[in-house]
Amino acid sequence: MEVIIAKDRQELAEIAAGIIREQIRRKPNSVLGLATGSTPEDTYKRLIRYHKEEGLDFSKVVTFNLDEYLGLPKDHDQSYWYFMHDRLFNHVNINPSNIHVPDGMAPDPEAFCDWYEEEIERAGGIDLQLLGIGGDGHIAFNEPGSSLASRTRVKALTEQTIKDNAELFFGKDKQHLVPRFAITMGVGTILEARKLLLIAFGKRKASICKKFIEGPVTSMVTASALQLHPNAIVVLDEEAAAELEYKEYYKWVQKMKKEEYQKVLDRLAQ
């Protein structure tokens, strides 16, 4: 796992958006896995800017979102379908038929989940999956105890997630309105993406970041499954990185990669 520590939220978004931009430039028909929540908002703002100012081309990009609340229609202003259109899709030249967000109103959610998996496969698999992390260590809605081999399915949300979401999206007193279930890609589905990019910022993520990066791989912290992936990048700001035991080492690695590694390669090639 490559751990990059940005000085603040802005630099974090710049790094994350830069990695996504690079992916799209290198492979214009990239399949991107996308995430919702407060964490990726600034990253999406930057991608919109790259589209408007530099012509970053989304016309061939295919997207799959991680999750959606069960029972929320697309046009509900708290649905993830709505969030993605509002924060990104409506502002770039993506082809609407290339957008996939799980359907929270699917009459047979389990059959829908199987179809979603097949669609990902038909698209050739996910090239780059963007992830946030929940306070309980979840990636997508893979709550504690989710199998690390799990596939797209319906999941009951934990009380903490319901509370977090109530505060972020519905207002503190609206907890009763937060859906209790979601359709979510599984940890196994996520691990099949060719590259993973997890981002997190702020003090409230510091202790869970220590657990998933430096603790054991466990289904009780599903983000820890990133340790099993051969190509996972984690970008944190200083606050989210505050409790990392090897923080200075991660910084050292980044510095060495920038300043020294090419020199070593040049010397070896002589």
Tokens of 39: 């964490």
Rounded Cα gap, residues 159 and 199, in angstroms: 23
CB-side neighbour CA atoms (13 Å) of 269: 6
Q: Kindly indicate which of the ranges 15-23, 25-33, 35-43, 244-252 contains the residues binding ligand PGA, using the contact rule CB under 6 A.
A: 35-43
Quote the least distance from Cβ 146 to ligand PGA, whole Å. Answer: 13
Choice from 132, 146, 225, 237 touching ligand PGA (CB under 6 A) = 132
Closest CA to 46 of 99, 103, 6: 6
79 binds ligand PGA (CB under 6 A): no
The answer to whether the CB of 36 falls within 8 A of the CB of 83 is yes
38 binds ligand PGA (CB under 6 A): yes
Sheet strands (E) in 10-77: 31-34, 62-65, 67-69
Choice from 156, 168, 177, 256 touching ligand PGA (CB under 6 A) = 168
DSSP annotation of 21 reads H
Q: Kindly indicate which of the ranges 31-39, 43-51, 238-246, 253-261 contains the residues binding ligand PGA, using the contact rule CB under 6 A.
A: 31-39
# residues contacting ligand PGA (CB under 6 A): 8
Residue nearest to ligand PGA (CB): 37
CA dihedral 164→144→229→18, nearest 10 degrees, is 0
231 binds ligand PGA (CB under 6 A): no
Quote the least distance from Cβ 265 to ligand PGA, whole Å. Answer: 37
Tally Cβ neighbours within 10 Å of residue 19.
Answer: 18
Tokens of 187: 């940890």
Residue placing its CB nearer to ligand PGA in the complex, 98 or 190:
190
Rounded Cα gap, residues 110 and 56, in angstroms: 36
Quote the least distance from Cβ 134 to ligand PGA, whole Å. Answer: 3
Residue placing its CB nearer to ligand PGA in the complex, 5 or 12:
12
Choice from 13, 20, 48, 133 touching ligand PGA (CB under 6 A) = 133
Burial class (CB in 10 A: 0-12, 13-18, 19+), 16: buried
Closest CA to 241 of 215, 210, 199, 197: 210
Residue placing its CB nearer to ligand PGA in the complex, 160 or 254:
160
Quote the least distance from Cβ 4 to ligand PGA, whole Å. Answer: 18
Quote the least distance from Cβ 168 to ligand PGA, whole Å. Answer: 5
Chain residues binding ligand PGA by CB under 6 A are 37-39, 132-134, 138, 168
